[in-house]
Every structure is written in C-alpha cells, then in structure tokens.
Amino acid sequence: MTSALNVVPETTEISTGVKDAPAMATGLESALADTYRLLFKTHATHWNVEGPLFFSVHNLTEEQYENLFEAADVLAERIRALGQLAPATLSSIVANSVVQDEETPASAGEMCEDLAADHERVAHRLHALIKIAGEHGDPVTEDLATERAAFHEKAAWMLRSIAKS
C-alpha cells in the first residue's frame, strides 16, 4: 500500500534549455545559504540594537529581514524548478555561506558596518552567479540573481549611511 506520506523528494530531469541545471542549482544554493545566514544576522541586529540609532536601525533591519525571508523561498523554488533539491539542513546552509557570525556584542554602528560588509560579499557572489547563468542559458536565474544583487547593494549603502551617524 502506497501512502502520500511515503513520497521522498528527488531530483527531476528538466528540459527548458538550461545547460547544466545541477551547476546552476549549486550557485543558487550558495545564494540561498547566504540569504538565510544574513536573514538571521539581520534579525539579531533588529532584536539587539540600542542607543540613539535604535529606531532607524530597528526599522531598516525589519524591512531587510522580511525581504530576505521572501527571497529565501524564491531561491529555493528556483532550485526546485531546475529539477534539483533545495538544501534541507542547517549545516549545509552554514557550510555554503560567506556570511559569518559576530561573536561579541557590537555598537549600532558596528552592527550596521558588519551587515553592510556581508551584503557586499553576497552581492559579489550574486554577480558571479549572473555571469554563470548567462553562460548556461538560464535567463530566469540571471534575472533573479540580478534582482537579489540590487537588493544587497542597496542594503549595504543604506546600512553604511546609517553607520556614518
């Protein structure tokens, strides 16, 4: 007897013209890992920021973590649309991300600078994904990576602008 609860996810062959879907999925997995790590780090800043910049940093980081949360779903669904499995463990998220945790308490300005640097690192990786997507005939991933890179570039600029206070 087969049960709907016994279905195990698996990779699927696609035929959309994307060359080397597994390679594209690997690039997207890195983007997803960076997004999830940055989501948590941004949320932690939102929770812990104090001082005269509290209101502006608290509100900005809320907008940013909400965007990151939505982006994680879009990135994972793109991986699935390429016929691959999305990451399913926190350890794979941590291992595949360039975002690092800040272990010591920091000032509001230091938190903003640290997040800005992370956004820049993520944007650089997305720029590489844009190039690879173009080379692999994957305009959908190319557009998605371009949109995400624009978000990270703007986030870095906004955070650095606040940190100058």
Whole-model pTM?
0.92
**76 within 8 A of 99, measured Cβ to Cβ:** no
Those residues whose C-beta lies under 8 Å from the C-beta of residue 77, and which sit 6 or more positions away, are 86
Give me the torsion for CA of 64, 133, 123, 40, rounded to 10°. 40
Residue 3's identity, in one-letter code, is S
Chain centre distance of CA 71: 7
3-state secondary structure of 119: helix
State how far the alpha carbon of 142 is from the alpha carbons of 28, 50, 90, 125, 145, in Å: 10, 38, 26, 12, 5
pLDDT higher than 90, residue 46: yes
pLDDT (tens digit per residue) in 88-104: 999 999 999 999 998 88
pLDDT (tens digit per residue) in 14-26: 788 889 999 999 9
Where does residue 79 rank: exposed (0-12), middle (13-18), buried (19+ CB within 10 A)?
A: buried
Rounded Cα–Cα distance for residues 110 and 133 (Å): 34
All domains in the chain, ordered by first residue: 18-163 (1.20.1260.10)
